[in-house]
Amino acid sequence: MLIEILLALCLLGALVVFVLPDDYAPVGALVASLFPLVTSFLMWFGFDGSGNAFLDGGTLAYETMVQWISVGPYAINWHVGVDGISMPLVVLTTVLTTLAILTAWTPIDERRSQFYGLVLFLETGLLGVFVALDFFAWLVFWEIVLIPMYMLIGVWGGPRRKYAAIKFFVYTNVATLVMFLGFAALVFGLGDAVTSLDMPAIAQAIRAGELGSLGGVGPDTLKLIAFVAMFAGFAVKVPIVPVHTWLPDAHVEAPTPASVLLAGVLLKMGTYALLRFNFTMLPDVAADLAPYIAILAVVSVIYGAMLALAQQDLKRIVAYSSISSMGFVILGLVAYTEFGLGGATFQMLSHGLISGLLFACVGVIYNTTHTRMVGDMAGLADRMPVTTGMFIAGCFAYMGLPFMAGFMGEYFIFQGSFAAEFAGSMVFTAIAMFGIVIVAGYLLYAMQRTLFGEFRLDTDYTIGRAAFHDVVPLAVLVVCIIGLGTAPDVFFGMIQDAVGPLLGGGA
């Protein structure tokens, strides 16, 4: 029941905040977001799931399964639950939503109640994606996420907001369709072997080798087609080069809170889905295609980092670096070793926190200076010491400084990736590791030019200290990042427990 309560609280909060008068909306939204936050923490502390939800022997926590719709041969159930992979992402979503709402207090000054209502509605969709286990319910949540994000970018974004919002919407919606076709091919290929759209049931049936041929296409080809279609669909969401072009546009135009959620949680939907669909349901195809996927991952890492290096806009730098970091996640997934899969999941979490922190920092800097151009400012450290400190902490975490979450994620991934069995895994890993050097390069370069040196600002705004409520989310995120870096086991244990069964083969 806790999951339903969690979703209901978000949705109810969204409705209430939507009709609140604008003046009360910021506080109202903060309070409304605390209910799901507390619920998710209750779920985390009482978490008693074990194994992988999609495989035999996995025990879900807070599972509900009731009949919803039955059409022809397929039953569609309301099936939700969390396992060690989804639990951390649920917590990440609720934490980041609350913090994102705080980051909105200063910059959002028009149509506030609508803004916060949409943020909470977005949270509902995001949580739904991570807890739904029936394909249909999952697809509903997956698609619902698009609408509030489209609105958040399109209404409250920067000068080119409409272009960015529509590009985001078109890219991700078409991607969903491609993915849908791939998944449908699998379901129809299974024929009578499945009687529902239950994702675990489908995963188990496919792993047990019950996939038949469909329309004259043999099971092996069918698997390949489905894998490629689903991969292409999810790759847009991650995003992987070359389908990443919507991301910088969306990020640059999006208001700070939307950027925080976009980088922090929305991108994880893509890697989460890749893990759940491609790598859980079709591990043999994943193994066959491993070198090619690894190439895409390495290209994303290096190319994303190079692009970041070339940017002048602080927000663009952070945006492109997300492409780089998500490339590491793909590398971890494709390694298909205990540390690779676990590290990838851990990296989703840590990247969520770190990129959330960096976007929030850029937001605070922009609120005070009204510019994001690296060349327009220098020596901010003297005038905004706290924000600067947080920004430096975020950059260090991104570079993979030990005792911070980013280090643990990348460490796990590289350890797993070195041990991977596909051809050339060592080389790919080595090249990808070089990406960290570039990351360190552009982040240090950006910090050097904006934060240090003689104070200079090419705008008319005077610089004051950031408001207390602006700094709180930064501080909380830094604490989370250091906490996760020093004690990764608060989540890594349950993650490993959930990804371990994937390697066992069989159903």
Partner 1 sequence: MAPLTALAPTLLLALTALALFVIDSIDPHSKNRTLFSGTATVGSLAALVAAGALLVTGTGTNGGVQFYGGQLVVDGMSLFFTIIFTSVATLVTVASYDYLAGETEQADYYTLVMLAATGMTLLASAGSLAVAFVSLELVSLPTYALVAFLKDNRGSVEAGLKYFLIGALSSAIFAYGISLVYAATGSLLFSDVAAAAAETELTGVLGIGVLMVLAGFAFKTASVPFHFWAPEAYEGAPAPISAFLSSASKAAGFVVAFRVFTVAFGLDITSSVDWVLAFQILAVVTMTLGNFAAATQDNVKRMLAYSSIGQAGYVLIGLAALGGGNNPSVLGMSMVHLFVYGFMNTGAFLFVALVEHWGSVGRTFEDYNGLGREAPIACVAMTVFMFSLAGIPLGGGFLSKYLLFYEAVGAGFWWLAAVGVVNSVLSLYYYSRVVKAMWLNDPASDLSLNSYPIGLYTAVVAAGLVTVLLIPAFGLVTDPAIDAAAALFS
Q: Which residues of the chain form contacts with partner 1 (CB under 8 A)? A: 18-19, 67-74, 111, 114, 136, 139-140, 143-144, 146-147, 151, 154-155, 161-162, 165-166, 169, 173-174, 177, 181, 184, 188, 215
Quote the least distance from Cβ 146 to partner 1, whole Å.
Answer: 7
Quote the least distance from Cβ 232 to partner 1, whole Å.
Answer: 16
Distance CA 308, CA 323 (A): 9
Quote the least distance from Cβ 272 to partner 1, whole Å.
Answer: 18
DSSP string over 12-79: HHHHHHHHS-GGGHHHHHHHHHHHHHHHHHHHHHT---BS-TTSTT-B-EEEEEEEEEEETTEEEEEE
120 or 165: CB nearest partner 1? 165
For residue 76, give the nearest of 137, 141, 144 by alpha carbon: 137
32 or 397: CB nearest partner 1? 32
- Residue 60 dihedral angles phi and psi, to the nearest 5°: -90, 150
CB 316 within 8 A of CB 248: yes
44 or 142: CB nearest partner 1? 142
70 or 221: CB nearest partner 1? 70
67 or 448: CB nearest partner 1? 67
120: its two tokens: 């909470």
Distance CA 55, CA 218 (A): 24
For residue 30, give the nearest of 127, 103, 91 by alpha carbon: 103
74 or 366: CB nearest partner 1? 74
Quote the least distance from Cβ 370 to partner 1, whole Å.
Answer: 21
144 or 295: CB nearest partner 1? 144
70 or 459: CB nearest partner 1? 70
- Residue 176 dihedral angles phi and psi, to the nearest 5°: -60, -40
| Dihedral angle of Cα 107, 109, 111, 117, to the nearest 10 degrees | 40
Distance CA 307, CA 269 (A): 23
- Residue 133 dihedral angles phi and psi, to the nearest 5°: -120, -5
48 or 110: CB nearest partner 1? 110
153 or 499: CB nearest partner 1? 153
CA distances from 410 to 357, 415, 419, 485 (A): 18, 8, 14, 11
Quote the least distance from Cβ 69 to partner 1, whole Å.
Answer: 4
Residues near 315 by beta carbon (within 8 Å), at least 6 away in sequence: 251, 252, 259, 359, 362, 366, 372
Distance CA 100, CA 262 (A): 10
CB 229 within 8 A of CB 282: no
Label residues 363-376 b or e (16+ Cβ within 10 Å = b): bbbbbbbebbbbeb
19 or 427: CB nearest partner 1? 19
Quote the least distance from Cβ 34 to partner 1, whole Å.
Answer: 24
Quote the least distance from Cβ 6 to partner 1, whole Å.
Answer: 16
Quote the least distance from Cβ 90 to partner 1, whole Å.
Answer: 20
Quote the least distance from Cβ 123 to partner 1, whole Å.
Answer: 16
Residues near 248 by beta carbon (within 8 Å), at least 6 away in sequence: 307, 316, 319, 320
Diameter of the chain by CA atoms? 72
3 or 329: CB nearest partner 1? 3
Quote the least distance from Cβ 56 to partner 1, whole Å.
Answer: 27
Alpha carbon of residue 117 to chain centroid: 21
Quote the least distance from Cβ 246 to partner 1, whole Å.
Answer: 16
> Which residue is associated with the tokens 């272009």?
163
Quote the least distance from Cβ 175 to partner 1, whole Å.
Answer: 12
